[in-house]
A and B are shown apart, each in its own frame.
Chain A
């Protein structure tokens, strides 16, 4: 029987046994072939339905509405079941290339998407306190050659905004402008500081992307985005990328909607893996959301805004095949404010821990650079193969 606050892993490691020492530590990363992708799930993804704690006796009575799918889901261990729409992600787990973390949350403890995403992306402890994004500050820690990031979207999301110039690129369907017009526009923007920066970034990215990305049919956007990200990460350009996913706010019709969301995410990740080829072994992907959803379904086949959720680490560089959780339990008395999964692992600590291992950086420095308001340390479990 699993008790509250025991650490669970698929290999049965309990408590502090999974802690790591750090043989290699540095204040700035040495040159490497490492790549990092952050996938944000905007709208508050329901971790309780994605990495379902089916071994918690309180789970089945709470979540009977969403039970049918999970019956065919992959058993991650005696306690957690993976949503079956994450088919290829599940396969990665089998190959020890996927690691899930549960009852995890950013420091944000209210229920506004917009504030929650701001905290998740800036790395602050409250909304709008920090003015740039943690993913941009990560570039401070990387060797200059590798401090090159890309947003797979039309504009640069908050997490990537800041001191370092970051380019953005999305799949387009418009006819291409003539080279002459592009050159003249570039000349016209030369004396306009803002437009000049944007234009230069756009043109550089465009050159690297080449002509192959001229649109994707509906329903295959996830795969196309993953393939595009892989292509961009393989060139001599970006080593860090961010992919935005929307549509996780399942207040109603959760069964169908969540499955569709997860299928698309699964395709993105699979296309990323396929596209990166051998570089997949140097890649870490973090998938995270601004907060979780209520333990109890609401009255309309969905769930409302909550707290703790699940996060994923994927990639050939991941020390996968386990689920890390300091499980708080789903009995009424254990829920946050009587309604939400109680967060027991700090998402900031997870991200800082994973990145410090990924780039062989001193964890304390990663923590203070990315999450300056945080008082805790980086997570010390084995997360990434070093």
Chain B
């Protein structure tokens, strides 16, 4: 609406950042030589595949953002907001993908910098591709599409050469009842 800046970043190896509150032991990974026959190793950080990995990562990231003056929205806990004066900066988090938006470019660059120092991130400049959604921006607004995703579906279904039709409804679907009796 207000021509906010839109940026995107990606956190490398996000789940490895989480701290563990429990003691977790694992068998030695291949390549390590066992000195004792019963020897195991204790995890200091969370690993991919652990049940608590995603919660610990969220905890770590939210702690970090809160310490930098952000607060999460009561209506959506993956939405972090910082407002200073009349400027506002918003972070939307999906696991390790983060979209930054706001009218305060300086603050956006600042928080990207801080995140980079803390977590090591991939900085992807302007928002163009997020979770399979293609984002195109013009002076009139934002267009969201899933073009690549659709083309992938065609490829998978082996339908790159089929002929288009005007509506997605098959004749069967207008005879809804019949459709239902087909099911068990």
Partners in one complex: no
Interfacial residues, chain A to chain B (CB-CB below 8 A): none
